[in-house]
Structure 1
Amino acid sequence: MSATLRLHPDAEERLRQYLQPALEVVADTTLRFLQEKLNQPGTGIHHPGLPNPSSNPGEYPAKQSGALLACLGKAKLGDGSWVVGALNSVSPVPPEAWALEFPQPPNSPVSRSTGYGARPWLSKALGDSELQAQLRAALNALR
């Protein structure tokens, strides 16, 4: 015996309609979180010529020029999904956006071969329990 599941002809559109508010809340919450975390001084050394102390290993990158912060944004893609992060459509993405996250490739525009290490900001946010709590709260508020 077998059964065939038949979906309503507009099931995909109905799902998209119901999921879209949740996807947008996730994008909004993630963007606000990144803007907050990347708009702070670090707790490390205050190097001459920089406006703020640098970040220590394990921290989000400290705000210095503001170029990374300026390019943060969100965009809805054609398939209904959202992208959040450093977007050229918002402001030119500085080389540091990539280099802070991925310092090791030979073509990295910023060398981070010292013991101080990288300052991954996007991958750090994905695993951040504070962001996860904010996402849960925002999604629960939709109910």
Structure 2
Amino acid sequence: MTRLTLHPDAEERLRRYLQPALEVIAQETLTFLREKLNQPGEGIHHPGLPNPSSNPGEYPAKQSGALLACLGKEQLADGAWVVGALNSVAPVPPEAWALEFPEPPRSPINRTTDHGARPWLSKALGDTELHSRLRAALNALQ
């Protein structure tokens, strides 16, 4: 049986080479989310709201700006990055979770109406536009 022996500092070398890519992914994801959540929707313009609401399947329309204000990215101690609504950036409004999940546990907001939730983070994870932008950003590193 052949046994693979890694260089003693292989983990550190790998981390050093991967960190620029991980940071680019985090930044591009944050930029993408800020763009998508800073737009009016294509739905009904309800009285008292600054913008038309979003339709089901769209990213949530910008209304108060509270969700947009708490978007950020942070590097964790292990080198991983988190991107999304972060209390360390600004208080995350309960609407952030209610948009993603129709009935968030212990939430004062319930979105189980016929209008449904407006999942923004899970939508971004599967968004082909974001995937293309991430590939382009990573290719620019090479």
Question: Do both proteins adopt the same fold according to a TM-score greater than 0.5, normalized to the shorter chain?
Answer: yes
What's 1:7 paired with?
A: 6
The runs of at least 4 consecutive aligned structure 1 residues that moved more than 2 Å come to 104-109
Cα distance between partner residues in 2 of 1:90 and 1:121: 18
Matched AA of 2:116: G
- Residue 11 and residue 106 in structure 1: after superposition, are their counterparts in 2 closer, same or farther (change >3 A)? closer
The answer on whether the counterparts of 1:101 and 1:119 sit within 8 Å (CA) in structure 2 is yes
Alignment of 1:1-143 (within 5 A): 2-105=1-104, 107-143=106-142
The answer on whether the counterparts of 2:104 and 2:110 sit within 8 Å (CA) in structure 1 is no
Structure 1, unmatched stretches of 5+, are none
TM score, norm. by length of structure 1: 0.96
Range that drifts further, 103-112 or 17-26: 103-112
Matched AA of 2:24: V
The answer on whether the counterparts of 2:100 and 2:121 sit within 8 Å (CA) in structure 1 is yes
> What is the DSSP-based 3-state SS (H/G/I as helix, E as strand, rest coil) of the residue aligned with 1:22?
helix
Matched AA of 2:118: R
Residues 5-35 of structure 1, C-alpha deviation per residue, up to 9 Å, x if partnerless? 1111110000000000000000000000000
Cα distance between partner residues in 1 of 2:84 and 2:4: 38
Residue 61 of structure 1: how far off its partner (Å): 0.3
Residue 110 of structure 1: how far off its partner (Å): 1.6
> What is the DSSP-based 3-state SS (H/G/I as helix, E as strand, rest coil) of the residue aligned with 1:84?
strand
Matched residues, number: 142
Cα distance between partner residues in 1 of 2:103 and 2:94: 14
Structure 2, unmatched stretches of 5+, are none
Residue 48 of structure 1: how far off its partner (Å): 0.9
Residue 113 of structure 1: how far off its partner (Å): 1.6
Residues 53-83 of structure 1, C-alpha deviation per residue, up to 9 Å, x if partnerless? 1000000000000000000000000000100
